[in-house]
Structure 1
Amino acid sequence: MFTGIVQGVTEVAELEQKTNLSTLALNLPEPARQGLQVGASVAINGVCLTVTHWQDERVYFDAMIETLRLTNLGQLQVGSRVNYERAARISDEIGGHLMSGHVIDQVTLTGRQEMDENNLRLEFSVPSTWMKYIFPKGYIGLNGCSLTIAEVGEQSFSVYLIPETRRATTFGEMPEGTPVNLEVDPQTQVTVDTVERVLAQRGLA
């Protein structure tokens, strides 16, 4: 599990594309490598990946075909900047909301609006399939970052970023048109799906 509090931004140092598989390497700083073991989980742009090996500061991961198809990891190149977060430990403070690292789809950044010197508003377009899980003041996972939803449209939503979020993630420099990994709040998803199932069983949906 992850907290949705991105620990840093780094660049893709190596990328080897094979048949239905990509191996990527990230240069992680020393604090992010403390206690690292083969098999450990790290969220890269919100996608839970497993450490396969490392050499010095360079840590390697494999991404399978479904991950490459469903997420923006399939569009990475050497030099691409990504958010990262180590898996949470029992003693960690959950400053965001619990996230699984299981991305369900991608959304697209369609608008950037500088509200003032301290607030940046980002708007995203969303496939209609997922809109039922998106509510004002609810949680959303975007490229591994836990954010609070502000406004919700028919097929869009917006979030507001404080300076620290802009500094610590790739959102501060992200241009319009960028695909972003989406993870909806699992509790919201379970609640909505359960209500839909109950209503359908009663012939009310």
Structure 2
Amino acid sequence: MFTGIIKALGTVQKMDKTEYGLRLTIEAPRELPAKIGASIALNGVCLTVVEAATGLISFDLIHETLERTGLGSLEVGDQLNLEPALTPQSLLDGHLVSGHIDAVGKLLSRSDLPDKGRILEVELPSSLAPMIAEKGSVALNGVSLTVTAVSRESFSVALIPLTLRETTLGSAQEGSAINIEVDVIARYVVNALRVKNEI
């Protein structure tokens, strides 16, 4: 589990094709806990460390991960939001994030605010519409955010200057692919209602 509070930024160094998908190697701060077998969220996607050297961490991405998340469009030099998994001592500052992406949406627009914050409008896949609510939580590229507005085809979030500086959302351009993870409670409530209606 994660909280959606980004601890560091990493940079893609290598992308090696494999028979199962891709081995992704990133450069990351040395203080990031990254032993083999550890879980780290990259742009909100929970991955397992398969190699770790000083300042370099590698992950294996299977075809399903590449097809169902925005990681399939990465290029060498791209930056990534990084968050190590929760420990019993971790503070729950954001909201519970599983690292399992529900859909990939497109960044539709970005509007700067007078206080140096920014509003991001993101495409709302129809499958997620019942689980995105105004004032509710959502994780975008692994960042815990509060939904400020919802329409039939999109939803918006507000970013403070710190979030713009410390995460990749600050440099996200219109048209960019955004990993979306809905609030885990909303996911289970909607699923329970669907199952109940099918019985």
Inter-partner Cα distance in structure 2 for 1:19 and 1:72: 20
Q: How many residues align?
A: 199
Q: How far apart in 2 are the matches of 1:87 and 1:199?
A: 35
Distance (Å, rounded) in 1 between the aligned partners of 2:30 and 2:173: 30
Distance apart, 1:20 and its partner CA: 3.9
1:143-154 alignment runs, 5 A limit: 143-154=141-152
Mapping for residues 45-194 of structure 1, pairs under 5 Å:
45-194=43-192
Q: Structure 2-normalised TM-score?
A: 0.96
Moved more, 110-119 or 172-181: 110-119
1:200 offset after TM fit, Å? 4.8
Structure 2 CA distance for aligned equivalents of residues 59 and 20 of structure 1: 19
Q: Tell me the residue number matched to 1:8.
A: 8
**Alignment correspondent of 1:21:** 21
**3-state SS in 2 of match to 1:6:** coil
Distance 1:118 1:19 in 2: 46
User: Residue type of the partner of 1:108?
Assistant: K
Amino acid of the structure 2 residue aligned with 1:74:
G
Give, as a single letter, the amino acid of the residue that structure 2 aligns with 1:30.
R
Give how far 1:118 is off: 2.6
**CA root-mean-square deviation:** 1.2
Per the TM alignment, residue 85 of structure 1 is displaced from its structure 2 partner at its CA by 0.4
**Cα separation, partners in 2 of 1:136 and 1:165, compared to 1, 3 Å:** same
Aligned residue for 2:113, secondary structure, equals strand
- Unpaired runs of 5+ residues, structure 1, are none
TM-score norm. by structure 1 comes to 0.93
**Counterpart-to-counterpart distance in 2, 1:200 and 1:65:** 32
- Aligned AA for 2:190? V
Point out where structure 2 has 5 or more consecutive residues left out of the alignment. none
User: Which amino acid letter does the alignment assign opposite residue 168 of structure 1?
Assistant: E
| Deviation for aligned residue 1:62 | 0.5
SS in 2 for 1:147: strand
Deviates more, 1:4-13 or 1:150-159: 4-13
Distance (Å, rounded) in 2 between the aligned partners of 1:108 and 1:166: 18
Pairwise CA distance, 1:8? 1.7
Give the % identical residues: 37
Greater radius of gyration (CA): 1
Q: CA deviation at 1:48?
A: 0.5
Looking at structure 2, the residues matched to 70 and 126 of structure 1 have their Cα atoms a distance apart, in angstroms, of 15
Q: Deviations over 1:173-192 (max 9, x none)?
A: 11100001111111011112
* Alpha carbons 2:8, 2:29 under 8 Å: kept: no
**Alignment-derived partner of residue 31 in structure 1:** 31
